[in-house]
Amino acid sequence: MTPRAEVVARHTGRAVRNVRPLSGALAEVTLDDGRVVVVKRSDEPGAARAEAAGLRWLAAAGNVRVPAVHGHEEGWLVIDRVPRGRPDPEAAVRFGRDLAALHAAGAPAFGAPPPNGPVDAFIGLAPMRNEPADDWPRWYAEQRVLPYLRRAVDQGTVRAGEATVVERLCEELPGLAGPAEPPARLHGDLWSGNVLWAADGRVWLIDPAAHGGHRETDLAMLGLFGCPHLEQVLDGYREEAPLAEGWRERVGVHRLFPLLVHAVLFGRGYAEQALAVARTALAG
């Protein structure tokens, strides 16, 4: 029996009929009762625990759909497979409402990790520290923007002279952040690749980097790389929970974090986008 099959059998209590690799880190596994689960492999310490805790925390809110967690151990996570469907406008509106309800479920603080989740977690392949704080602008600057800016500078992806525009934005965040809001329960990595349009006609979310944060960050990330029926998603969201005035002008501020993460992971093109949104936010 392969290591993947052994892990799945251990956490589902079922014999394994077939293993179909999807990538080096991901495989679909068919159980002896016909159900299909997904097993994920990660070499990063704590990554499986962080993702499992995030999925369970999102599920506990009782609104958005996420795969059930069968179990995890160091380096491995076993979850349900979500059968794929097609993007649909009605599903988009419903997803917007569900996402608003998820955010309203709240978090103990900005940066709060999910229950039983580690402080040192991940967003994609990048480390992400969940250190709770009460003040969003300061927390966002110190825990989300500046750590990745420093890494990007150390890598040479952002030139030292360019970093000042992002640093200045961080200094001015209290005046750019809009009205104060309570901590929201965030998916935390809500780009369109983590939004699954499922065969059941609903939207499911995968691969969270869950934590307490500002709800506009999830929404800004949702549109960063394009999302089917985004305007319908936003319509459904605002029906359930209206957004504060000026939220569209703040999108760039909230995108600065994921853009810098991408700059660290994938290079200069994302650094240029991050610098551009910082300049625009400061000018506007």
pLDDT in tens, 223-266: 999 999 999 999 999 999 999 999 999 999 999 999 999 999 99
pLDDT greater than 80 at residue 194: yes
- Whether the predicted pLDDT of 160 surpasses 90: no
Give the Å distances, CA to CA, from 21 to 1, 12, 116. 15, 18, 29
Q: Which residues contact 123 (CB under 8 A, 6 or more apart)?
A: 188, 189, 209, 258, 261
**pLDDT value of position 1:** 73
Structural contact between residues 30 and 39, judged by C-beta atoms closer than 8 angstroms: no
Question: What's the rounded Cα separation, in Å, for the pair 40 and 76?
Answer: 6
Active site residue 32: no
Q: How confident is the model at residue 284 (pLDDT cuts 50, 70, 90)?
A: confident
**98, 189, 207, 218: the active-site residue:** 189
Q: Tokens for 20? A: 């179909």
How far is the CA of 66 from the CAs of 10, 50, 53, 147, 225, in angstroms? 22, 15, 12, 29, 21
pTM: 0.95
Three-state SS for 69?
strand
Say whether pLDDT at 142 is over 80. yes
Its sign, for the CA torsion 212, 230, 236, 196, is negative
